[in-house]
Amino acid sequence: MKSKNNGKGKPFTNKKSSSKTGLQDIDPKKLKAKVLQIISKPKHFGYSSRTVLRNLNWENKHAKTLVQSVIEELLEEGLIYLTEEDRYKASGAPDAIMHVGTIDHVNQRFAFATLEGIEKDIKIDTRDLHSAVDGDTVKVAIYEDDEVEGRKNNQPPVLSGAVIEVLKRKRQEIVGVVQLNKTFAFVLPDSKKIYFDIYVPIDKIAGAQNGDKVMVKITEWPMVGRNANGIITKILGKAGEHKAEMHAIMAEYDLPFAFPKNVEESAKRVSSEIPDKEIAKRKDFRKITTFTIDPDNAKDFDDALSIQKLKNGNWEIGVHIADVTYYVKPNTLLEKEAYERATSVYLVDRVVPMLPERLSNGLCSLVPNEDRLTFAAVFEIKPDGNIANEWFGRTIIHSDRRFSYEEAQERIETKKGDFAKEINILNDLAKKICEMRFQAGAISFETSEVKFKLDENGVPLALVQKVRKDAHKLIEEFMLLANKRVAHFVYEQQKGENKNTMVYRVHEAPNPDKIATFATFVKRFGYKIETQGKKMSNSFNLMSKDLEGKPEQSILQSLAVRTMSKAKYTTEPKGHFGLAFEHYSHFTSPIRRYPDMMTHRLLQHYLTKGKSVSKEEYELKCKHSSDREKRAADAERASIKYKQVEFMQNVSKAQNNKVFDGIITGVTEFGIYVEIIETKCEGLVRMSDLGDDFYTLDAQNYRVIGQNSKKIYSFGQAVQVYIKDTNLSKRTIDLELMPDKPKKETKKPFKKGKF
């Protein structure tokens, strides 16, 4: 049977069948069932007839006519219906797959939703957020999107989504700057991830003046094309002033300004006396040499080392940790507040502590020359660094000395001073333990950090790069050892699959695709990264060593860190990839981390032969702690960025148009990020300021390319910049690239006999 053909195009055929098959070969019932099957699949806005044709993999205008007639028939029978967007959906079919997740609003046009149980984030257009804001917990409908531009027929549908319901707001109040008009005001949010202004009636501004930094409570959340409404609840001060900006950061990340009065009262009631019956329950280390090593400005000391030589020639090293859980009992106000905060937060000019000062800097702090209650991991270590024996339990210590890192380092370098012998023995053992750790496959992440020297008003006077020396590494190595062995001890207590519930610090292996992309990229700089197993860690360490002192050191090391998975707290014993530990926990900082308090309680519970606790309960606590840890890290970065902007603003005023050497640390569709080598401060060269050409992003190759000149700016490239503008409220630095120097014309030498 011949197919119809009007002579103007190809005959109508199904590409998947024989080329001879035409319209006459189609079974109307089967076609109708197929069209209904397609339209019944969940899709955000529904299906057009064109989309149905694409799903059928047909072409030709006659096919469109036939399919449209089938659609009309389905409409008449009520099996499908027409939406407000003039698309078709199946009647009674499930509209979409529903999931719960968190919004990450990356730019004005779209957001991503990180969903529970789905590895890949789901893209959501801003118009489909339905008032959800960055950080909100939402219910998301997921659809298969067949109309993504550039998608080939053999590729799977792309997942997209829409917010159906906001389940929990991340914030009820937003920090921003007031702009006053005669009859109303607007608050411009500080957060770069909030893309709407907040309308405030003039009678709801609480006395705020133009340019004030304020907190505004949202009374009506924004919908598409509309601003939010709100009322001003607190005035933080003038935008740009140190106190106002630091308070703004605390408010932005919902950090507490003080402890509730009843919590402070509870802390005051905690007895400072150590009962004799409590001492009798503990191993007494008060006569054994013990000291602390901490930063020179530290106020709380939560770890101490004891050392004594045994008759068999081995060394007994005790890692003694403040016994916070002796003072903070379950179900008390102190406990509930510690859990809610979950971690201390270290801003550039202050600490937002997890525990009230009476505990953190007083009763729990391992100050010198006073008896202190501790929880310890005690190791018998051979001269070669291997562990001969270990013990875990509660102790009492009497610290002989409080060392700063600088003082301990002096004793390592000069071999002189009080306790120099003990510190050098610990240092030698730490190096041997460290060497074994790297032989097992640990990865070195030596990222550069800076700290500020501030005057009495909080103005940054200088930026100083932090340098990690042997004294820092000594303490780190023994803390890692204690964390590792505590986790291993609990894991091995129960044989078989039914292990005791424990709080682990987990760092999973990196995504293979990310590692492959990173390996391809660093190859341009002359480094080779293996993508599998122990060879991967060895190649990372080799690259880290080769990078020392080179301009690309900072960005490649930070990019390597971003390539890795994020560490988190969980009850699942999945190990720590970066440290090459099968099991790892956090045991050594209970003054400032709630997970360490959980670890102390669980360890003591199992030491006294207690049964395994509820895994579900502790998993929820782990997730809460991981979330609070991220909040703390974001707030700390914001405070550092603010001080960097303030510092560079002052430098710019003092040395106008100063040219800085920089290195490109990122490229986006809106600009080029450049880190100034001298100060480690990062700024943005906006695409609109690249006036010599029109540049487009080549994301796959980490570069932007000039459309006409083909000029390239790529990740890791050395450039020169000067400061165009700084904005303290937005915590941004705008840079401009120095124009290329014109090449000097070189005159050809005159050659005799040539004219």
pLDDT at residue 145, rounded to an integer: 57
Sorting pLDDT into bands at 50, 70 and 90, what band is 17? very low
**For residue 255, what are its two tokens?**
């950090």
Query: What is the rounded CA–CA span in Å between residue 118 and residue 167?
Result: 18
Is residue 632 packed enough to be buried (19+ CB in 10 Å), middle (13-18) or exposed (0-12)?
buried
**For residue 142, what are its two tokens?**
């997921």
Q: By three-state DSSP, how is residue 283 classified?
A: strand
Give strand pairing partners of 103.
Answer: 113
283-284 and 184-189 beta bridge pairing: unpaired
**Which amino acid, one-letter code, is at 23?**
L
Please enumerate in sequence order all residues whose Cβ is within 8 A of that of 84, keeping only pairs 6 or more positions apart, or say none: none
**Does the domain at residues 655-737 carry the CATH identifier 2.40.50.140?**
yes
User: Residues of CATH 1.10.10.10 domain(s) within the chain?
Assistant: 23-90
Q: By percentage, how much of the chain surpasses pLDDT 90?
A: 56
- 394 membership: H or E segment, kind and range: strand 387-398
Given a cut of 80, is residue 394 above it in pLDDT?
yes
Q: By three-state DSSP, how is residue 650 classified?
A: helix
Strands, E assignment, 6-87? 80-82
Q: What is the largest CA-CA distance in the chain?
A: 109
Q: Which residue has the higher pLDDT, 750 or 328?
A: 328
pLDDT at residue 467, rounded to an integer: 84
Give strand pairing partners of 693.
Answer: none
Number of helices (H) and strands (E) in the chain: give both, helices first.
17, 33
Please enumerate in sequence order all residues whose Cβ is within 8 A of that of 161, keeping only pairs 6 or more positions apart, or say none: 44, 96, 113, 122, 123, 124, 128, 140, 141, 142, 143
Q: What's the fold here for domain 97-168?
A: OB fold (Dihydrolipoamide Acetyltransferase, E2P) (2.40.50)
Please enumerate in sequence order all residues whose Cβ is within 8 A of that of 493, keeping only pairs 6 or more positions apart, or say none: 500, 606
pLDDT at residue 3, rounded to an integer: 36
**DSSP 8-state class, residue 215:** E
Q: Which of 117, 149, 42 is nearest to 87 (CA)?
A: 42
Of the listed ranges 44-53, 568-577, 599-608, 626-635, the one predicted with least confidence: 44-53
- Residue-wise pLDDT for 354-382, tens only, equals 999 999 999 999 999 999 999 999 999 99
Q: Which of 134, 242, 131, 267 is nearest to 729 (CA)?
A: 242
DSSP 323-366: -HHHHS-TTSHHHHHHHHH-B-EEETTEEE-SS-HIIIIIISS-
User: Residues of CATH 2.40.50.690 domain(s) within the chain?
Assistant: 97-168
Look over the chain and give the mean of its residue pLDDT values, rounded to a whole number: 87
Given a cut of 50, is residue 7 above it in pLDDT?
no
- Residue-wise pLDDT for 226-254, tens only, equals 789 999 999 999 988 889 999 999 999 99
> pTM (2 decimals)?
0.81
Given a cut of 60, is residue 18 above it in pLDDT?
no
Q: Which residue has the higher pLDDT, 302 or 18?
A: 302
Conformation bin of residue 7: beta by default, left when phi > 0, alpha when psi is -120 to 50:
left
pLDDT at residue 11, rounded to an integer: 34
pLDDT, mean of residues 126-146: 82
Nearest-5° angle of CA 181, CA 193, CA 629?
Answer: 125
Chain centroid, CA 613 distance in Å: 30
Q: Which residue has the higher pLDDT, 679 or 445?
A: 679
Sorting pLDDT into bands at 50, 70 and 90, what band is 48? confident
- Residue-wise pLDDT for 606-651, tens only, equals 999 999 999 999 999 999 999 999 999 999 999 999 999 999 999 9
Task: Note the CATH number of domain 23-90.
Answer: 1.10.10.10
- Residue-wise pLDDT for 527-538, tens only, equals 888 887 778 888
Query: What is the rounded CA–CA span in Å between residue 8 and residue 61?
Result: 11
- Phi first, then psi: give them for residue 596, nearest 5 degrees: -70, -35
Q: Which residue has the tokens 């291997």?
A: 386
Q: Which of 737, 643, 730 is nearest to 687 (CA)?
A: 737
Given a cut of 70, is residue 155 above it in pLDDT?
no
Please enumerate in sequence order all residues whose Cβ is within 8 A of that of 557, keeping only pairs 6 or more positions apart, or say none: 445, 446, 447, 448, 544, 547
User: Residues of CATH 2.40.50.700 domain(s) within the chain?
Assistant: 173-239
Pick the CATH number of 173-239 from 2.40.110.10, 3.40.710.10, 2.60.40.10, 2.40.50.700: 2.40.50.700
DSSP 492-521: HHS-SS-PPP--EEEBPPPPHHHHHHHHHH
pLDDT at residue 520, rounded to an integer: 84
Segment of 386-395, 653-662, 727-736 carrying the highest mean pLDDT? 386-395
Q: By three-state DSSP, how is residue 234 classified?
A: strand
Residues found in the chain:
755
Q: Which residue has the tokens 């969980």?
A: 570
Query: What is the rounded CA–CA span in Å between residue 228 and residue 191?
Result: 15
Query: What is the rounded CA–CA span in Å between residue 331 and residue 341?
Result: 15
Q: Which residue has the higher pLDDT, 515 or 411?
A: 411
- Residue-wise pLDDT for 141-153, tens only, equals 887 654 444 344 4
Sorting pLDDT into bands at 50, 70 and 90, what band is 222? confident
Please enumerate in sequence order all residues whose Cβ is within 8 A of that of 76, keeping only pairs 6 or more positions apart, or say none: none
pLDDT at residue 754, rounded to an integer: 36
**For residue 78, what are its two tokens?**
């009520």
User: Residues of CATH 2.40.50.140 domain(s) within the chain?
Assistant: 655-737
Sorting pLDDT into bands at 50, 70 and 90, what band is 94? low
Given a cut of 50, is residue 748 above it in pLDDT?
no
- Residue-wise pLDDT for 676-710, tens only, equals 988 889 999 999 999 889 999 998 788 999 999 99
- 594 membership: H or E segment, kind and range: helix 594-607
Given a cut of 60, is residue 201 above it in pLDDT?
yes
Q: By percentage, how much of the chain surpasses pLDDT 70?
A: 90
Q: Which of 635, 715, 637, 743 is nearest to 681 (CA)?
A: 637
pLDDT, mean of residues 468-477: 95
- Phi first, then psi: give them for residue 749, nearest 5 degrees: -65, 145
Chain centroid, CA 168 distance in Å: 21
Q: 750 vs 743, 746, 747, CA distance in Å? A: 21, 12, 9
Query: What is the rounded CA–CA span in Å between residue 543 and residue 524?
Result: 13
Contact (Cβ atoms closer than 8 angstroms) between residue 598 and residue 503? yes
- Residue-wise pLDDT for 252-303, tens only, equals 999 999 999 999 999 999 999 999 999 999 999 999 999 999 999 888 899 9
